[in-house]
Amino acid sequence: MKYLSAHTRAIKTMAAKLGFDYCGIAKAVRLDDDADRLEQWLNKDMHGTMNYMENHFELRVNPCLLVPGARSVITLLKNYFPAQQQETDALKISKYAFGKDYHEVIRSQIKTFLHLIREEIGEVNGRGFVDSAPVLERSWAQRSGIGWVGKNGNLITKQGGSFFFIATLITDLELQYDDPFAKDYCGSCTKCIDACPTGAILPGKVVDGSKCISYFTIELKDMLIPGEMKGRFDNWAFGCDTCQDVCPWNRFSKPTTEVAFTPLPEVLNLSTKEWEAMTEETFKKIFRDSAISRAKWKGMDRNIKFINS
């Protein structure tokens, strides 16, 4: 028991030193309730053309299949709320893509985290994930006491709102577990549901991914965006923050201290005309290290034309 306490303290101290805003720990078990919800969501085709969501179903709901002998799931949050906002008349970019690609930034920090754990505690088997593997991050965050899942499907914290990246480290190390976050503080508020430009947020904390602006502008690989979405994008060219921007809990958002998430000047200042005139070569040069590169130039060009036509 003495080691459990010491190891847990050491891990939370390391996480704070690496700049993570929250660190919570849950017991590695199969997520039975989440498995049922995910199955229903997939059966209703709410994943659209995101066929990868159907793959590795059991891996998504059972961490022990990702890390043999898994005992603990460590959830880490990193704030990305920017200190500066975009010019109001420009094409809108989701805040998470203002700076360097978070996949690369946080993946590197998790590697360092695991290295420090091994130095401090000894041989530990573990795997870190950042939004790129079959892991139900928000469920683990709730189970480890960090926050609750809001009506818009985002994890919300009482102290800092929802503008956070979530990283997960699954390990075979036994630790002390945090109590799950028991309460839902959304109450009767429906601001996110009412504000969603495409009606993608449904009752019961269900988000129809196939109607979400983020899906259309990033995940959809077809060169044609459905005509019924015409005039409903509210100038969003990459992702969408509407449901987070209207959330009352985000009045507690504070600017990130992660230097890598400092906004690119082009994201903040490019006018719609400059976006329209941009060449593929310029796009690749400017957004080489940005998550915006995920849409590729063809995707961004499609999005811009769809919004402006």
Can you point out the beta strands (E) in the chain?
Answer: 22-27, 72-79, 92-93, 126-129, 148-149, 155-156, 164-171, 201-202, 206-207, 236-238
Location of structure tokens 């010491």: 6
Angle at 121 between CA 115 and CA 126, to 5 degrees: 50
Residue 288 to residue 4: CA distance in whole angstroms: 43
Which residues contact residue 9 at a Cβ distance below 8 angstroms, ignoring those fewer than 6 apart? none
Residue 117 to residue 230: CA distance in whole angstroms: 50
Query: Would residue 131 show up in a list of annotated catalytic residues for this protein?
Result: yes
179 φ, ψ to 5°? -70, 140
Nearest to 237 by CA among 100, 102, 97: 97
- Say if residues 59 and 65 touch (Cβ distance below 8 Å): yes
Catalytic residue among 131, 234, 245, 289: 131
- Say if residues 173 and 117 touch (Cβ distance below 8 Å): yes
Query: Please, which residues bridge with residue 204 across strands?
Result: none
DSSP string, 220-267: --SS---GGGTT-STTEEE---HHHHT-GGGGG------GGGSPPHHH
Query: Alpha carbon of 203 to those of 189, 239, 290: distances in Å?
Result: 12, 22, 33
Question: Catalytic residue positions?
Answer: 131
